[in-house]
Amino acid sequence: MIGLLWLVPVGLVLGALGTLVGAGGGFLLAPMLLLLYPREEPRVIASISLAVVFLNALSGTAAYARMRRVDYRSGLLLSIGTIPGAVLGAWTTALLPRRTFDLIFAVVLIAAAALLLWRPHARTALGHGAFHRTVTDADGTVHTYAYNPWLAVGLSLVVGYVSSLLGIGGGIIHVPVLTAVFGFPVHIATATSHFALAIMAGAGTATHVATGAFHSGVRRTLALGVGVLVGAQIGARWSSRVHGNWILRGLAVALLIVAVRLIFGG
């Protein structure tokens, strides 16, 4: 375990960045693990990453809850779709060859980056619906928005499957969808995504444990977990000082860099 202590500061940085953008850090951790452990099975990489995402999301949700930015009703609604998708995705991971896993990962990251760069604050037709929400945060700012709940659940099913399959959590996909498609304010989207992410990542991790994929990754998860629990609190504090637009654009650039590295590094 002592030889893995270098993973603690890595987890701290990932936890801070992941919470800042509402993505859980898995979008950075999973490709990093792929590069560090080129001979490791995809299911082991995904199980470690998803377990760390769960710890990050849990800590980040607690921080965002104090800021009153979490839309709990919407988060629970999104979880209706993400939980079954997460379980199915965790089972599917074992069927993928390593190179195929890397390429799928890269394509998902590029698609998410494209969605982020495509007018992230646009209010499309899909951003209107029967489910109207009003959230007042701790600063007194009132956020109002509306969306189609059935479409949100359907998209969350896909998000849960893909994110659990790759071990990236889901926030990296959920945040751009919530902002660009459903019209969520950025800061509410990141906080609510973290809440739904904790539920989804917990279900996916439990499935990886049941399949035996997580057994060889316990020590690495613990080392990373110590860092992300602290980093998540830091990231939540930073979120109040960073403009939402910069969060989304910076996230898009990071995704494209990681995707290119995966495509040409395999």
Q: How far is CA 79 from CA 56, 100, 153, 159, 195, in A?
A: 17, 28, 8, 10, 9
Q: Tell me the CA end-to-end span of the chain in Å, nearest whole number.
A: 28
CA-nearest of 172, 155, 157 to 86 is 157
* Residue 150: both structure tokens together: 């059935």
- Give, for 266, the enclosing helix (H) or strand (E): none
One digit per residue, pLDDT tens: the chain, 266 residues? Answer: 556 788 888 888 877 877 776 665 677 787 778 778 878 888 888 888 888 888 888 888 888 899 999 999 999 998 888 888 888 887 888 788 878 888 888 887 788 778 667 654 444 445 556 788 899 998 888 988 888 888 888 888 888 888 778 777 666 677 778 887 888 888 898 889 889 888 888 888 888 888 887 887 888 888 888 888 888 888 877 766 766 666 667 777 877 877 887 787 65
pLDDT, tens only, 85-126: 888 887 888 788 878 888 888 887 788 778 667 654 444 445
* Cα–Cα distance measured from residue 115 to residue 126, given in angstroms and rounded to the nearest whole number: 14
Tracing tokens 């609604």 back to the chain, one arrives at 77
What's residue 21's pLDDT?
A: 65
Q: Is 144 in a helix, a strand, or coil?
A: strand
CA-nearest of 177, 60, 45, 59 to 111 is 177
* Core vs surface per residue 120-148: b (16+ CB within 10 A) or e: beeeeebbebebeeebebeeeeebebbbb
Residue 222 burial by Cβ neighbours in a 10 Å radius (0-12, 13-18, 19+) = middle
* Cα–Cα distance measured from residue 26 to residue 44, given in angstroms and rounded to the nearest whole number: 14
What's residue 124's pLDDT?
A: 47
* Alpha helices, H only, the chain: 7-21, 26-36, 42-66, 72-92, 98-117, 149-166, 171-176, 186-211, 218-239, 244-265
CA-nearest of 201, 128, 220 to 160 is 201
Q: What is the pTM of this model?
A: 0.75
Contacts of 111 (CB under 8 A, 6+ apart): none
What's residue 23's pLDDT?
A: 61
CA angle in degrees (0–180, nearest 5) for 125-174-253:
100
What's residue 173's pLDDT?
A: 74
What's residue 120's pLDDT?
A: 46
